[in-house]
Amino acid sequence: MSILDRLLPFVPEGLIRRVYSMGPLARIARRLLTPAPSADPYRWVTVSHGPLAGLRLRLDLRREKTYWLGTYEPGVEAALTNRLRPGDTAFDVGAYVGYLALLMAHLVGPEGRVVAFEAHPDALSRLNEHIHANKTRHVRSVGLALSDRQGTAWMSSPPGMDPRENSIRRADQPAGKVRSSAGAVRVRTDTLDHWLARNPASPPRLLKIDIEGVGGQALAGSRHTLRRHRPDLIVEIHSATDGALVWSILSPLRYRMTNLENGRPTRAAPYNGHLLAIHPDYTRRGDGRTA
């Protein structure tokens, strides 16, 4: 464990957030927390704050400091904490290296289940490392991209961009720059409805989708699951086109939607941000809570 790993837990989380919101100080903090370049960009660190404090992750600290600091997407973290209960089943679609899947596992406890879908082989490898290193046996990883059909797709991130922004283009569509870009890989796709029909898993009580602009496609392949089980949804929307598709699927099913960036109910999907969608007929088991 490094000196920084030992010291960071003693720094208040609120102070870390304030420093990162201040331009000049944030730049200094990033330089201090970024290790010197090496052949292997990844290092094992201990999460310093938040509900995952103490867990071990192998991270690229040039891009993934918020996982280390426990400050990644606080609005999504709060929504997960509010909606999940011990014993629930949660699906993480676009799990990347598993930070939010591990949070889900913490919230549902060992009596619950988490299924983490991640198609990119590099991210999937680290996801599995994190599952095993932290002994979260109730998390299942699936090397698959959920979409609106079965088949294959090309996956890559824009040149020079964060690998968390990996996105897919179906193999039956013009591949363009996706196929030709460095690091593009071909991945399997399936619909959630088809996958659930073929795999023994409890239906999700909550479904989190963050797949860089194609969340609407994943929802389009989940219509039967949405109609039958009415899971809570957390969807990250990256474009007006994707937002319109998400809205066209959820609105007829009477989902009530909240923009997690401002906490306000919305009558239209936000152009860029996280959407919490809850079905009005849902009553939580055992505690009488309604949407």
Q: Which CATH class is domain 73-278?
A: alpha beta
Name the nearest CA neighbour of 213 among 254, 256, 265, 161. 161
Radius of gyration of the chain (CA): 19
pLDDT of residue 38: 58
pLDDT of residue 208: 97
Q: Which residues contact 248 (CB under 8 A, 6 or more apart)?
A: 216
Residues 187, 119: Cα–Cα separation, whole Å: 6
Catalogue the E-assigned strands of the chain.
42-46, 56-60, 89-93, 113-117, 139-142, 145-146, 151-156, 167-170, 185-190, 206-209, 232-237, 256-259, 264-265, 273-278
Cβ-contact 154, 184 below 8 angstroms: yes
Length of the chain: 291
pLDDT of residue 183: 67
Residues 223, 276: Cα–Cα separation, whole Å: 17
Tell how many helices (H) and how many strands (E) occur in the chain: 12, 14
pLDDT of residue 262: 87
Catalogue the E-assigned strands of 175-237.
185-190, 206-209, 232-237
Tokens of 30: 């990033």
pLDDT of residue 156: 73
Classify 188 as helix, strand or coil.
Answer: strand
Q: Where do the structural domains in the chain lie, given as residue ranges?
A: 4-69, 73-278
pLDDT of residue 83: 96
pTM of the model: 0.83
Tokens of 93: 């679609």
The strand pairing partners of 114, in sequence order, are 90, 139
The strand pairing partners of 276, in sequence order, are 234, 258
Residue 94 CA, chain-centre distance (Å), reads 5
> pLDDT means per 10 residues in the chain (291 residues)?
58 57 56 58 92 96 91 94 97 97 98 96 96 97 95 72 50 45 81 94 93 88 96 92 91 94 82 90 53 48
pLDDT of residue 289: 47
pLDDT of residue 161: 45
